[in-house]
Structure 1
Amino acid sequence: MEHIVIGTAGHVDHGKTTLIKAMTGIETDTTIEEKTRGLSINLGFAYMNLPSGKRAGIVDVPGHEKFIKNMMAGLSGLHLILLVIDAGEGIMPQTKEHIDILQMLGIKNYIIVITKINTVDIELLELVEEDIQEQLQGTLLEGSPICKVDSLSGTGIKELIDKMDEISNTIERSNSFVPPRMHIDRVFSVNGFGTIVTGTLIEGTIRVNDELMVYPKGLRVKIRNIQVHEQNVSDASAGMRVALNLANAQVKDLSRGDTLALPHSVQKSWLLDVKASLLAHTDMPIKLWDRSRLYIGTKEILCRVVPIGIEKLQPGEEAFLQLRLEEEIVAKKGDKFILRSYSPMHVIGGGVILDAVPKKHRRFNENIIETLKTLDKGSYQEMIADFIARKVELLTSMEEVASYLGNSQEEIAEMMADMISRNELIKINQQYMHTLKYEQFKKEMTAILQRFHKSFRLRTGIAKEELRSRIAPNVKGKDFDRILQIAEEEKLIKIHETISLREFKVTYNKYQLKDKEEIEQKLKQAGYTPPSEAELIGTIKERKELIDSLIGKSIVRLDHETVIYKDYYDTAIQKVTDFIKGKGKMTLAEFRDMTGSSRKYSMLILECFDKNKITKRVENYRVMY
């Protein structure tokens, strides 16, 4: 099932929580204080199935100014925003601040939801809609669809849900083929289970028993259990809202704002180099050493601002800044952030991280300024790496990269060859794979093989096509073969008729050894007229897996219900080869006489030869392939 995460935004008491209850039946105000005061203090969560079958997680964020930091924590990883506006009040101060925040975070998909429409007359409703459209001009929300609803009566709710479903088809999917990362937005405990954290998985894939690191604390934890919308699951991918039961962690060890990631996949830092813009309607410029509040992911942190290349950042302008933090943080290049003034608190700007682990800079050093300009623009190789890493598909062609950058394939080929030499990219036939994606591929493949070996201890491994269907269904067979070959060269897996982990070996207990000997003896005695597999299994169902484990070793499978002793099969190949080399061709009857078999089994053996490209049928004869 495909998952998306939807958030609400808007002024206090404009009906966000009531709207979510009307759509989902779930009340997101859960605390006594929230119910008594009639406003959302903390983040609330609900979910629903859209008409197309997608599962939508919904984050109800607070609208009151005092709780706006909770609102920003809820915006991490959202795909679609419902901007909720009361038909009787229109756009209010908190609505405007929410709009500023949404734009700074670069969220692209919106629906404007006018609520409480049954409380106003048609003329006022039309005036409110016109005013909203006018005030949204020049913002990212300009032109967004408008839905008019009344949550208490249900008016317009179906149409809103249909519009959410329609927009969900255009939402860019999150990337599952990079190391996982999640910002924690809630920490609590459940009796009998222990520590639980929630958040939206913004990148990668996680599985039960995965070991992760809590940053910036450096605490190693293990995932005991994963829930997605109150359902236990074995894994979760980027874009899903998850609740994780963590081992090796107590509630007191964790807090909102912490980041869960693979060990060594991110770095801690006291500094950030950023490109920031200051809102045009803010009152004051940003000057050297101003104290500000930084919001990134689900974390709020105090910082000092150092303008780079300028004396101060004026309202409506953008510039490079170095943020000197009062606590350690983990982030990545490209992450978005919000700045609020220290006191009184209001949103003043935001931007994007250019370097998550910089050194302290001189403010007017031309080399530093040029470096930041390059990071802002992104070198061609950085843009190539980012495009291939963030693309949902596992492999990328050179044509796709050239089209994305607008450069010739000759120019791109030279840059990509250099990236391959630095182990940033891997060439897979005529396609390319980011090293991060390959590492994630190996992790997922290892997990699949470990589960397979645990479930089927007597099978040599998983069929290649079954493995491909589970991990890379859209990758062509020859490209998948090449990826497997690289993994085999790294001594991770073994490739034979099936795929297994390199260290895996089939081992038999004394009862299985006895059954194995009996099966092989029956096939030896039967020669070229073997008993059916059902006859070999008899009443001992476990023999089915035992027979499968012997395929390619002492047994050869002719079809889905017939096996033959491998020595007879190999002897038949030699007899056929010698006969055809001498006569030029061979009939079914000649093969039957040669082996003393029946017509039925002779046909099965020859058809198996044909399938394995030993012989080839021409009219009523066989020739060598």
Structure 2
Amino acid sequence: MIVGTAGHIDHGKTTLIRALTGVDTDRLEEEKKRGISIQLGYAYTPLPDGQILGFIDVPGHERLVHTMVAGATGIDFGLLIVAVDDGVMPQTREHLAVLQLLGLNAGAIVLSKADRADAARIETVKAQLQTLVQGSFLDNAPVFVVDALSEDKPGLEALRQHLHTQAMQSTTQDGQGYFRLAIDRVFTLQGHGTVVTGTVHDGVLDLDGPAMDLRLMPRGTPVRVRSIHAQNQASRQARAGQRCALNLGGIDVQDIERGDWLADARCFIPSTRIDVELSLLDKDIPALRTWSPWHVHMGAAHLTAHAVPLDGESLQPGQTGKVQLVFDRPICTVTGERFIVRNAQASETVGGGIVLDPNAPDRKRRSTTRLAWLDALAQWTRGGPLEGLLAHAPYGLDEATLLRLSGGSQHGLSAPTNARWRTGSRPQSQPILLSDARLETLCQHIESVMLQYHERNPDEPGLSISRLRRMAAPTMPDAIWQLLTEHLLAEQRLARQGAWLHTPGHRVTLSPEDETLAAALLPLIEAGRFDPPWTRDLAKATAYPEDQTRNVLRRLVRQGELFQIVHDLFYHRRQIAVLAHIVKELHSGQGVSAAQFRDATGLGRKRAIQILEFFDRVGYTRRVRDRHVLRGEAWTQAD
């Protein structure tokens, strides 16, 4: 268990930790000289059952709240410390608000400097605190009156026993998620190199286990862990809920800063936009409006962002709503992560919340579909069923996305009864969790787009798969698009002809005038056998404009009646079948040369080469040096 202190400056937080552990957490010369904490301090003490109880001592000065928040994220138990001679002070209130906004649910209250007040004063401060903590996680929490400096240290032993009991009763985090450690210190240790310290928020790093692709995020720099200290002891593992120091290889101190993450490569996708559920404190602060500037404290990072309300024009003090935070640089977070926001001057804590979508879009962020998805995410973070999340996922959920949303934990990710995991046929296709109803809805939409296209363009053969995607679902992920098109083709709800997708019953149709022209062109081209007329000659023969003739010829290609060999030269499908048969007859296992084909057809060398190159293009043959090798079944002559 990790215990974090909270309270106003000079209320005895560091002194209390020293009395409990024997460790002075003020490391810096300036801290010792001024008698106040400036940086985070750490101490550890053994428990009777062999576990280690960790302490994080935070500074109490109002200008160092950002440091306090960096230490408070990841703690399990909060100690609100109030000096009885001062009573409740501004940072007492702010630190309590921070712990409450971070979702802490266990703690105790310590009245320090008991030697400086009489019994009446102590009761007065207790009454102040009772009012202050009402409705918070410290409501009904035990209160310990302590004098940490006197020889017998009254109240200290009772506090120590309470902390030990709480630690031994606390549940060890399962560590099933992706490993991620929030870095709050980085330094060089002589003889070892770069060392980072921080709290492990999730997962397990095991030096004796399978190799893990660890990255320094958000940069994405690969790193290697040489050794681990967990809870101030050498260890082969770093687990969720522990304070750890990691000796890193392959990276320099200057490349790391407080607020970075050391994480499994699968854990994060850096983003400059996140969607959150934000609660503003009920106090005298300005309302949140579009592009309000904030200081955001998340993990161990201190960030700046602009806020955009999503379900209204503003968010008033005391209200909770959905907000998009837009950062000035890429950041990393996960769904369910708690954070704190302070005003533009970084002088006052104004609220906090929970991350819903760590990779938010910049367009259609206020659409009904988008807001419904965020509502579903909010319910899911509170323990709601996966069915609710899946019902509002417009394209289902691929495995990688779902694992990122869950932090890598498999808990609660079994397919609901109305859905199943589906995988495309391509190698390494991502499994997708999709309900039968959603699959049918998406398929019907794609069919509808295709039918509408055919109605508007009856003389076109269909759409390429990429163009159909742009028209039907431009934002759809690759994995689900592949799955849907394969499903539609397998069920013969779509058909493929070359590069074109179309509905099974679609045939290219011509206008009456073009039908008349086509009826005149086809016999002329077929009569030309291996040397049909060029487009300009066909236009003269039929007395139609050359452009119109060319357009009709191209449409006949799409219908499969003709094949275009080179520009403005078209062959009838039956003559192409005959030529293909000639190639097959000439093929002796060594391929067909241009000279052989020329002699067999009676064509000139140039035309023979053009036809053989056409067969190469369509995949009937392939060129090997100066010969054309058969690689497909011979085309049979059509009736």
TM-score (normalised: structure 2)? 0.60
Aligned-residue offset at 1:391: 12
Q: 1:305 to 1:242 in 2, by over 3 A?
A: same
Superposition map of 1:507-586 within 5 A: none
Are 1:20 and 2:13 an aligned pair? no
Q: 1:15 to 1:382 in 2, by over 3 A?
A: farther
SS at match of 2:420: helix
Which residue number corresponds to residue 588 of structure 2?
none
Which residue number corresponds to residue 433 of structure 1?
none
Q: 1:420 to 1:237 in 2, by over 3 A?
A: farther
Which residue number corresponds to residue 162 of structure 2?
163
Write the distance in 1 (CA, Å) between the matches of 2:268 and 2:408.
Answer: 20
Aligned-residue offset at 1:361: 3.6
Which residue number corresponds to residue 175 of structure 2?
176
Are 1:138 and 2:143 an aligned pair? no
Aligned-residue offset at 1:424: 8.1
Contact kept? 1:181, 1:202, Cα under 8 Å: yes
Write the distance in 2 (CA, Å) between the matches of 1:53 and 1:126.
Answer: 37
Match of 1:303 among 302, 305, 311: 305
Write the distance in 2 (CA, Å) between the matches of 1:177 and 1:125.
Answer: 45
Superposition map of 1:166-565 within 5 A: 166-208=165-207, 210-343=212-345, 345-362=347-364, 364-378=366-380, 380-381=385-386, 414-415=417-418, 418=420
Which residue number corresponds to residue 477 of structure 1?
none
Which residue number corresponds to residue 36 of structure 1?
33
Aligned-residue offset at 1:256: 0.3
Write the distance in 1 (CA, Å) between the matches of 2:20 and 2:345.
Answer: 38
Write the distance in 2 (CA, Å) between the matches of 1:381 and 1:39.
Answer: 48
Structure 2: state its 5+ residue gaps: 390-401, 424-429, 434-639
Write the distance in 2 (CA, Å) between the matches of 1:129 and 1:391.
Answer: 44
Aligned-residue offset at 1:212: 1.1
Match of 2:8 among 7, 11, 26: 11
Aligned-residue offset at 1:363: 5.9
Contact kept? 2:40, 2:57, Cα under 8 Å: yes
Partner letter of residue 141 of structure 1? L
Q: Deviations over 1:256-275 (max 9, x none)?
A: 00001112321100000011
Contact kept? 1:11, 1:93, Cα under 8 Å: yes
Which residue number corresponds to residue 603 of structure 2?
none
Contact kept? 1:210, 1:223, Cα under 8 Å: no
Which residue number corresponds to residue 101 of structure 2?
104
Write the distance in 1 (CA, Å) between the matches of 2:38 and 2:300.
Answer: 15
SS at match of 2:135: coil
Q: 1:419 to 1:377 in 2, by over 3 A?
A: farther
Superposition map of 1:84-103 within 5 A: 84-103=81-100
Q: 1:211 to 1:224 in 2, by over 3 A?
A: farther
Write the distance in 1 (CA, Å) between the matches of 2:364 and 2:94.
Answer: 34
Aligned-residue offset at 1:50: 2.8
Write the distance in 1 (CA, Å) between the matches of 2:165 and 2:408.
Answer: 22
Q: 1:344 to 1:73 in 2, by over 3 A?
A: closer
Q: Deviations over 1:283-340 (max 9, x none)?
A: 2111111111111000011101111121111000011111110111011111111110
Partner letter of residue 278 of structure 1? L
Write the distance in 1 (CA, Å) between the matches of 2:411 and 2:293.
Answer: 45
Are 1:61 and 2:61 an aligned pair? no
RMSD across aligned positions (CA)? 2.6
Structure 1: state its 5+ residue gaps: 402-411, 426-625
Contact kept? 2:267, 2:407, Cα under 8 Å: no
Write the distance in 1 (CA, Å) between the matches of 2:219 and 2:53.
Answer: 32
SS at match of 2:350: strand
Contact kept? 1:104, 1:350, Cα under 8 Å: yes
Q: Deviations over 1:17-37 (max 9, x none)?
A: 000000000000011100111
Partner letter of residue 19 of structure 1? L
Contact kept? 1:28, 1:45, Cα under 8 Å: yes
Contact kept? 1:5, 1:240, Cα under 8 Å: yes
Write the distance in 2 (CA, Å) between the matches of 1:372 and 1:356.
Answer: 11
Aligned-pair identity in percent equals 35
Q: 1:147 to 1:85 in 2, by over 3 A?
A: same
